[in-house]
Structure 1
């Protein structure tokens, strides 16, 4: 395999990125041995310290298994890597080489949003519920400007997820909306059916304000799955805690 010699600045980052992409893209298969440090250093035209640092980071991501005195072998990233791999890719402007990744992210968002809406209706204070209602009103007032609606929609769902009281949901939400998960951009036009469902958003706000958890989950499911390309069969596709 041929690697591109890298600039002397941040050489470890460049080695790390090229090896990471080679593993994630499948150029190196699971259980394949990597070349030794000396060979990699020569291929990248860098010193062995830069290679060693890159390998350490790849091991931390779950992409390599380093054996003392043995070969460094590639791990299956689908089985061993976590969201930190997606974070690493996003920071370099790359995306995971997976078909339908935007769909997968939207399904993850729907699963979190449905349960967060239920929990928000059941757990949130009266003040938070009214904040959600106000956020719905601000969002719906922006029709038909999809770009401004998209921004207001993020603000609305932040209130909902925060009101759920679930820290794991909140952290996942933050990663999604900050572009920290390497899925590429999802333009508002890709979510037009969801964003333009003004009535559905008002029903969601009312259900949360009135503490009707099951109804809030159902309304969230309808909204968040409206633009998914994979057919849904109704509330049974909701992700439940």
Structure 2
């Protein structure tokens, strides 16, 4: 992979993106050293501050380990990276089923969040879920508006679960360049149009029926996974 000099705008972003893509493409294998800061600065025709900033971002993503006074070594992203990597590099991450994989994660998270929301959601949280279903129904048949309402509904369910880790994971799943919330609504038509299913879900949550809420959420969230065709993420 050939590295090119950085444009004058967004210098650090340019260095970061090229090094990230080089690591993910296999140009630098796990445990291989990156060129020194001095060499990278010369290659990109930038100052060393821009290189350090790019390396700091790569380290935050779990792609490299920066050692003071030593070589910066490449890490295996499969071992060290988190969801932030998918958010920043979905178009280059070497996984052909990433959209499907993220939707499967959403289905697992959403189903358990529905169970917990039914068990320990406050009355106000459960009312928010019911109101969110009404908003979803009111958005029909506009799939774009229904998609936005659907994200708001599941945010209400996850928030009502009282699980902060689930909420942070949900935020990752609906933000960034590659996100479940940005999947074309046509790929989630079965889920979006099942307003009756969402009303059943809200009713189960309101009644504190955790097992039923889990099952209904699982049915709703797995429909788009089984219906969609595999595409390159």
Q: Tell which deviates more after alignment, 37-46 or 207-216.
A: 37-46
Q: How far apart are 1:87 and its partner, in Å?
A: 4.2
Which residue of the partner structure matches residue 236 of structure 1?
none
Q: Is the 8 A contact 1:101 1:183 kept in 2?
A: no
The match for 1:137 among 130, 134, 139 is 134
Q: Tell which deviates more after alignment, 129-138 or 189-198.
A: 129-138
1:180 and 2:182 correspond? no
Q: Alpha-carbon deviations, 1:124-165, whole Å to 9, x = none?
A: 122322332232233223332211211111221121111111
TM-score by length of 2: 0.86
1:155 and 2:152 correspond? yes
Secondary structure in 2 matching 1:225: helix
Whole-angstrom CA distance in 1 between matches of 2:12 and 2:122: 49
Q: Tell which deviates more after alignment, 35-44 or 203-212.
A: 35-44
Which residue of the partner structure matches residue 21 of structure 2?
21
Aligned residues: 227
CA RMSD of aligned residues (A): 2.4
Q: Tell which deviates more after alignment, 167-176 or 206-215.
A: 167-176
Q: Which runs of 5+ in 1 are unaligned?
A: 232-241
Q: Which runs of 5+ in 2 are unaligned?
A: 229-233
Task: Rate the CA distance shift 1:71–1:138 in 2: closer, same or farther, 3 A.
Answer: closer
- Name the structure where helix makes up a greater proportion of residues: 2
The match for 2:186 among 169, 185, 189 is 189
Whole-angstrom CA distance in 2 between matches of 1:214 and 1:158: 20
Whole-angstrom CA distance in 2 between matches of 1:181 and 1:169: 20
Secondary structure in 1 matching 2:223: coil
Which residue of the partner structure matches residue 39 of structure 2?
39
Task: Rate the CA distance shift 1:22–1:136 in 2: closer, same or farther, 3 A.
Answer: same
